[in-house]
Amino acid sequence: DKGNSTYRCSYKPTLEGTYTIYITFGGIPIPRSPYTVTVGQACNPSACRAVGRGLQPKGVRVKETADFKVYTKGAGSGELKVTIKGPKGLEERIKQKDLGDGVYGFEYYPTVPGNYTVTITWGGQHIPRSPFEVRVGTECTNQKVRAWGPGLEGGVVGKSADFVVEAIGDDVGTLGKWAFFYLAFPCSCNLFV
């Protein structure tokens, strides 16, 4: 009691959920009672992380899907917001998918080479490393990648058949998951990259 019939009250919830607060005077509910409040974890954007090719400084090219994931588990309550601005300062179209368990998948499809800015916020605050600066290169052409070696000309059963794949130029990026090496019939074997 503050001495003027005004009472300061507080509560400290220990679990997330919906709480109902009943306030009565003389056993009768006061106007608007009961109150319903939703309690969530405190927003902690520093617990979020984002990974994927679509956030790398280089290696993304026009006319290729650039993807990434955002992990929010353990980051408390908050709204996830992702924006991507292209070289002309316009917002790019983004596909978003809830993958469950606090994981969200994103894809964008750059059509113009240049600098893109990917901004990711949780509860209105930047997550670590946001905004991400992504340099989107020109369309990939076959002339920038070449392969050679004896393993591409023939081989002997039980012997290593070696060959080299080379990415040429400054703007090639890494081959990573975008280079595919496989052998067709009559056998299967392991490729060591």
- On whether residue 19 sits in a domain, the answer given is no
pLDDT in tens, 119-171: 999 999 999 999 999 999 988 765 566 777 787 877 787 787 777 777 666 55
Does residue 26 sit within a domain?
Answer: no
Find tokens 């790398």 and name the residue. Answer: 56
Domain span at residue 171?
A: 141-192
Residue 62 lies in a domain: yes
What's the DSSP call for residue 55? G
Residues 49 and 130 in one domain: yes
- 96 with 167, same domain: the answer is no
**Residues 165, 89 share a domain:** no
- Could you tell me if 85 and 108 lie in one domain? yes
CA distance 65 to 86: 14
Average the pLDDT over 168-186 and give the result: 54
For residues 111 and 181, state if they share a domain: no
Q: Are residues 157 and 129 in the same domain?
A: no
77-128 tens-digit pLDDT: 899 999 999 999 999 999 999 999 999 999 999 999 999 999 999 999 999 9
Higher pLDDT, 147 or 39: 39
Q: In this structure, what CATH number is given to the domain that contains residue 110? A: 2.60.40.10
- For residues 125 and 149, the answer to whether their CB atoms sit within 8 Å is no
Q: For the whole prediction, is pTM greater than 0.75?
A: no
pLDDT of residue 35: 93
